[in-house]
Structure 1
Amino acid sequence: MTRIDRGMLTRSYLFSPPRVRLIGSSLSGPRLNGARLAIGIGALALGLSGAYVKQKGLGFSPSDWPEPIRALLAPEPRFAPPAVPFLREEAPDEDDADIGARPEAPPVNLTTAAHELGRDLAGFKEAISFYKSGDLAGGDAAAKAATDPIVQTALEWIALRTFSRESGFDRMQAFIAAHPSWPAQGWLRKLSEEALFGDRKKSALIKSYFSTSEPQTPAGKLALARALKDDGKSAEAAALVRGVWREADLNAALEAKIRADFGSYLEKADHKYRAERLLYKEQTANAMRAAVLAGPDVVALARARAAVIAEAPSDKLLAAVPAPLRADAGYKFAMIQKLRRADKISEAVALMLAAPRDPIVLINGDEWWVERRLLARKLLDGGDAKTAYKICAEHSAMTREMQIEAEFHAGWIALRFLNDPARAAAHFDTLIKLAATPMSRARAAYWRGRAAEASANPDAAGTAKAFYEQAATHPATYYGQLSREKLGLSAAPIRMPATEAAGEARDPSVKVIELLYAVGEKALAYPLVLEAARHLEDPAQVAALAKVVARQQDAHVSLTVGKIASQRGIALDELAFPTYGVPAFQPLPNSADPSVVYSIARQESAFDTSAVSSAGAKGLMQMIAATARTTAQRAGVAFDENRLIADAAFNAQLAAAHLGQLLAESRGSYILAFASYNAGGRRVKQWLDAYGDPRKPGVDAIDWVERIPFTETRNYVQRVMENLNIYRIRFTAAPMQKAEAEANP
């Protein structure tokens, strides 16, 4: 689904083209068994007793579901209306055709109530209408009549968002001065710096603007470089320009502008660096433009690397690269990638172990880490854990995210394959220092606990317990839930948000969001909702935002805000796990239960019913048309592919039936069912052959999930499993059953 802001299609497009986001299926998933499966997975689809499952089967009919599920009126959120019933027991008659529709959001109690705005309300709507139609002057004229401060703020924000280029630098600065704590300061700063450059502001103004802070964007750096150049400070200007040229993503038009204004500052080494950096990002067309500027030798290297990236015939092109450039790190990377894809693992590993490790030489240490990870997993599959560990431990990952992945892999291999808990502990200690989100903190602490538990230290049990307790403080995460089971704790209750700020104590941005929702301007509210979720510091203000968002009963927005807050360590569990968003439908026989359906919808589309993946998965549950058609035929339901997007209830109905079938085929294993839903049953069978059967006591299900070769699927299974535990609590007010049932189906 595309979300492009009109304001981002003007000047800012020069610096980074708008991204089209296609929400698709993920690939990843862990399953747990026995005492090791920290999240109860059992063969039970509803957290029911084993006897019930044996009596009724795995994919039991909706009429057999227990009353709490069959009735399924989700517990009322603290600040939201009751959830929409998930099930529709009887086929609707024509008069009841809208039974599954989402209810209209209840009226919003405005800080300044709508009826009290009087003429301001009419003027507010009129100004918005002008702005949305592309008439900045008309909108500004209508806005002048507004007297309510929140209305004035809202209209000025809308003008800036809608006409970011036309508004200009001075208007942006006036807004920032009037609203210094506005949550979108980063966006405003970015647009301000782009205006300084694009509008060719005077050097004195530019130098004054950057006198207290460094430029934060490529445009800001170029604006300052122009001012420094005008002052005769060529060396300082050149340093800024070269940094932008090397590191920034620029389109062809801006590249040409930089070369026209600052071409004398750029050297062949800068062009070569830019070409190589873009090749690591697989932006081959952009890379070739830079390569041409660097000379014919670099063009030969770029052509060879582009062929390897495209998996096209590349032998002759690689052979044509001049000898001096064959020592280039980028050339070695291409050779390693080509050999690994040809399954010549030993040759690829030999080149990797001899490759440079200096991040400056590598240019993109993250891409080198990805290649190391792929090789290490191939080595594990081949039984060479020692070399796999070395490949991981010698990483040169650059970003925090990739460093976390590299340290985890090294620690996990040391612990689980080399039986070296001391070495593993060192990597997990580093992981703990790097971790910045609840998810990564829980994983780091859990595995540090596992390393302590495996050690021969006399205080091993106490040390392990302390780390499990640390991980368990993140109960909405996969490894936090596993840690709670390690400690013998029941599932944690849904965490309540902070007491929300109320009335005039609320942040102005929250009041503006509420006002926009009240007049039906959801699209205008959404960007500010995201900015507020990311940047409001006070948990009470975030809770106030959550209250406004929850009233809308828009599961996609609720989930997005809840996730952002959760990543910041602010608990908004009710919002992050909405119990609305799946329309009511008539379940087909042997369908998966609502907790499973919601868990999948949350991960697959984030409740975006119009989502379409690059692989063609469609709608709420990201159903592939062929799978949906087969499911419909099996159930005797008329199939229309267009309904996968147009009719979310139809999409969910078929997906629930398909999930029920997968659960039956996997004999109740959620791990296998979720992995199959994401990556396909054929791949799961391959993994069962390669890594064993996680349903059997001799196979550690946590390791089995971590061995899934697709990063997307590993993550997918873990995320859906953690979702499932939360939705069990939300829908049944009871924790999920422990894992023994899945270990011994």
Structure 2
Amino acid sequence: MALFVTVDQDGGSPSEGRRGPECGRGLAALLIGFALCLAPAGAAPASPGAPPGAGTAASAESLSAEDRAALERAFDAADRGQAAGFESAKASLRSALARTLAEWKWLDRQADGASFDRLAAFIEAHPSWPRLSLMEAEAERKVADRPAADILAWFERHPPRTGEGHVAWGEALIASGRLEEGKAAIVKAWVELGLPDSAERAFLARHGEHLTQADHEARLTRLLWDGHTTSASQLLSRVSPGARALAEARIALQTRAPNIDGIVGRVPAEYQDDGGLLFDRIRWRRRLGRDEDTWDLLASAPSDPQTLYDPERWWTERHIQARNSLKAGKPELAYAMVARTGLTEGGSFADAEWLAGWIALRHLDKPQRALEHFLTLEAGVSTPISKARAFYWAGRAASAMDDPASARSYYLAAGERPFTYYGQLALEKLEPALARVSLDPMPEVSAAERAAILQRPEISAMRLLTAIDAETDLRRFAYELDDRLETPAEFAVVGELLRDLGAPHLSIRTAKYGLFKHYPLLDLAYPTMDLGDAEKGPGPELALVLGLSRQESEFNPAAVSHAGARGLMQLMPATAKITARRHGLSYDQSWLTTRPEYNVKLGRAHLADLLEEFDDSYIFTIAAYNAGGGRVREWIQTYGNPQAEGVDAIDWVELIPFSETRNYVQRVLENVAVYRARLAGEAVPVSLIADLQRGSSKGRPSYAAYRPEDSPTRLAALSPASLSPAGRPDVDPLREPDRTAPVAAPAAETDASAGPD
């Protein structure tokens, strides 16, 4: 069976900051050495005569020593807002590209002090460079001083984004005789986009005549949905008495004011069914711990988007309470909350349709209704994980309806995405003995193709950024470039370049985008590594260590999460210290991000401790690594133990109440299957069901311990690059369990709390 390689697409927002040259040089050497260990199987470091981009440090250091020093000074001056120092450093640069890069840095950091002409010139000349939207927003604030013809010409090429931009556009339209278009732009600025507080009084003085009471009430509604209670209060005198009473009630609920019942009771009858008021009542009750009091309100809540105003916000409340009511043994109520949400696209839509279908199938025994939800899900999503999830569960529903032909068809469709959790589950439903994860070769790239790709100015700029250790800006360029790559050759060449420049996590991210388009990029998307002594001795299988490290840090040895987790395996310092003491190892916190082998040795030891604690269960161990052992024990108490008979392991994973942990368990498990193939150097059977059941009488510990000496694809080494510590790019901080509490022995462990979805 020919299977295409597809994985989830994940990423994150780059953090601010840049390492200075003093600490950057040592870190760059560490990371570049580490990246060499991440080379594809059989690869060797490029020779001195290799083409640009084929090597590592040599490719990064393409600036002269003088230009490198000047570019560093220019970047530092831009960070500090020192115009004279910046201009002096920029003027001394001989490289035209370095001067352009310096100008980009200044405008990115100091756009508020730049003229419209300077901003516009850069935006027009470099349309594919990163973070131009910030420059465009600043340009919109300054274009108002230009003649109307110039303003209209600018916005024809760059449609307005901000409230101030719409005001400037509207005024230019009115000045040009296009009165109705101008009024519409001004109303949109007021109602939908907003303006700085300092500009509102002048705006109302100039354009109040264009605004109606209905416009003010529409703005008031938006402000209340956005939680801007102070701005909303300032608008109360401009709306009708009924709208004012409604707004006062919503403000009271949002601020948890006293005498809520009396304030809500003053809302006129015609406003009592307002969707915003209902939403604020539901959220107010949840925040007071009165979850059950929200259930009937949510089950009978409207579903049309106009009444809901913002179905996405409603989904947060629906999702929390649906899982709470399911936990309380009320699946009918849970289904009613999520079956009609008003959502039609996006991640929340996908979650809602899946959850409704799963409840119908697994808790209400209504497979036909479940199938309808799963097919609606499939039609509305595009990512490999969501497609595979929809098809797999459609197969389960068809099977429950005693329709094996349809079930097989759905499983086949899910199995076309074999590097996803649900695709692997589907393959085992089809032909367990033949379901395999296979390795496709990397795309072939001709010398001419490679040279053309590497000549792109953005790629040359990334080399310069690597040379001066500007990791944050390198990440911004890489993210922007990922969105613009199209062909397999482009993804392969850029991914290899980033790896060779010492940015393994950026290389993996590029490869993930390529895999999303069904391009075979396994070598880059799933790098292996040689960690010397860290791999020796008994311990968790290497595929698990690699799969978990890929999810934790994307092999960035210097990664530091927002919670303080560090290094390849994202160890909290307190946990690392306890683990080191328990296993008789020396400890130095700095080693977590400067010695990859040490980080992995401690990470493997911590994994081994968790496996021992949880009787070799992979799902418990992986969940505990992410959310803490205490949470896992709590979930076992609540949802049962899938190591025992009668508790389905697949359903148990779906019941994990934290979306980040649920996703984490699935991503690590799917990674393990791919890494078994990578380490074996050949296709291997899918054994996800066995992994889900490990530790039970039904499970069997397979692939017990890949030893590095047995692996034909053992790589040169994982090398440190010119990157500063970065937060984990694949994790939304709002959904990440707090792992700041140390991991101690089970009897003494204190788990930090993690918020619900």
2:429 is matched with which residue: 483, 486, 490? 486
How does 1:245-256 map onto structure 2 within 5 Å?
A: 245-248=190-193, 252-253=197-198
In structure 2, the residue corresponding to 1:558 is in which secondary structure?
helix
Structure 1 residue 253 displacement after superposition: 4.9
2:673 corresponds to which letter in structure 1? N
1:437 alignment counterpart: 383
Change beyond 3 A, Cα 1:399–1:319? farther
Structure 1 residue 446 displacement after superposition: 1.7
2:260 is matched with which residue: 290, 301, 317? 317
Change beyond 3 A, Cα 1:275–1:711? farther
Q: Deviations over 1:674-726 (max 9, x none)?
A: 11222222222232233222224533221111111221211111111122222
CA distance in 2, matches of 1:202, 1:156: 26
Please report the TM-score for the alignment, with normalisation by the length of structure 1.
0.74
1:240 is matched with which residue: 181, 185, 196? 185
Say how many residue pairs are matched: 639
Structure 1 residue 531 displacement after superposition: 0.7
CA distance in 1, matches of 2:354, 2:549: 28
2:492 is matched with which residue: 535, 543, 559? 543
2:748 alignment counterpart: none
In structure 2, the residue corresponding to 1:323 is in which secondary structure?
coil
Aligned: 1:531 with 2:480: yes
Structure 1 residue 315 displacement after superposition: 5.8
Aligned: 1:427 with 2:427: no
Q: Deviations over 1:257-281 (max 9, x none)?
A: 7557655555666566556545555
Q: Is the 8 A contact 1:271 1:291 kept in 2?
A: no
Change beyond 3 A, Cα 1:243–1:702? farther
In structure 2, the residue corresponding to 1:627 is in which secondary structure?
helix
Structure 1 residue 240 displacement after superposition: 2.8
Q: Deviations over 1:59-89 (max 9, x none)?
A: xxxxxxxxxxxxxx97841696579xxxxxx
Bigger shift: residues 658-667 or 445-454: 445-454
Q: Is the 8 A contact 2:391 2:410 kept in 1?
A: yes
Q: Deviations over 1:415-447 (max 9, x none)?
A: 222222222222122111211212212212222
In structure 1, the residue corresponding to 2:329 is in which secondary structure?
coil
1:192 is matched with which residue: 136, 139, 147? 136
Change beyond 3 A, Cα 1:467–1:147? farther
Cα RMSD, aligned residues only? 4.0
CA distance in 2, matches of 1:258, 1:125: 47
Aligned: 1:304 with 2:220: no
Please report the TM-score for the alignment, with normalisation by the length of structure 2.
0.73
1:222 is matched with which residue: 167, 181, 204? 167
Percent identical:
33
CA distance in 2, matches of 1:373, 1:487: 32
Structure 1 residue 669 displacement after superposition: 1.4
How does 1:632-711 map onto structure 2 within 5 Å?
A: 632-637=580-585, 650-711=598-659
Structure 1 residue 300 displacement after superposition: 3.3
Aligned: 1:106 with 2:48: no
Aligned: 1:499 with 2:449: no
Structure 1 residue 133 displacement after superposition: 2.4
2:326 corresponds to which letter in structure 1? L
CA distance in 2, matches of 1:497, 1:172: 39
Change beyond 3 A, Cα 1:367–1:495? farther
1:196 corresponds to which letter in structure 2? E
Q: Is the 8 A contact 1:645 1:651 kept in 2?
A: yes
Structure 1 residue 408 displacement after superposition: 0.9
How does 1:374-389 map onto structure 2 within 5 Å?
A: 374-389=320-335
Change beyond 3 A, Cα 1:123–1:619? closer
2:328 corresponds to which letter in structure 1? G
2:318 corresponds to which letter in structure 1? R
Change beyond 3 A, Cα 1:619–1:546? closer
How does 1:522-671 map onto structure 2 within 5 Å?
A: 522-523=470-471, 524-567=473-516, 569-579=518-528, 586=534, 591-608=539-556, 617-637=565-585, 650-671=598-619
Q: Is the 8 A contact 2:191 2:218 kept in 1?
A: yes
Q: Deviations over 1:544-594 (max 9, x none)?
A: 2112111023223223333344445545333333335x9766579764344
Structure 1 residue 195 displacement after superposition: 0.5
1:204 corresponds to which letter in structure 2? A
Q: Is the 8 A contact 1:131 1:138 kept in 2?
A: no
1:452 alignment counterpart: 398
1:516 corresponds to which letter in structure 2? L
CA distance in 1, matches of 2:554, 2:154: 40
Q: Is the 8 A contact 2:424 2:686 kept in 1?
A: no
Change beyond 3 A, Cα 1:589–1:682? farther
2:302 alignment counterpart: 356
In structure 2, the residue corresponding to 1:535 is in which secondary structure?
coil
Q: Is the 8 A contact 1:610 1:619 kept in 2?
A: yes
Aligned: 1:464 with 2:412: no
Structure 1 residue 393 displacement after superposition: 1.2
CA distance in 2, matches of 1:556, 1:517: 16
In structure 2, the residue corresponding to 1:699 is in which secondary structure?
coil
Structure 1 residue 350 displacement after superposition: 1.7
2:311 corresponds to which letter in structure 1? G
1:410 corresponds to which letter in structure 2? A
Q: Is the 8 A contact 1:131 1:139 kept in 2?
A: yes
| Structure 1 unaligned spans of 5+ | 8-72, 84-103, 309-313
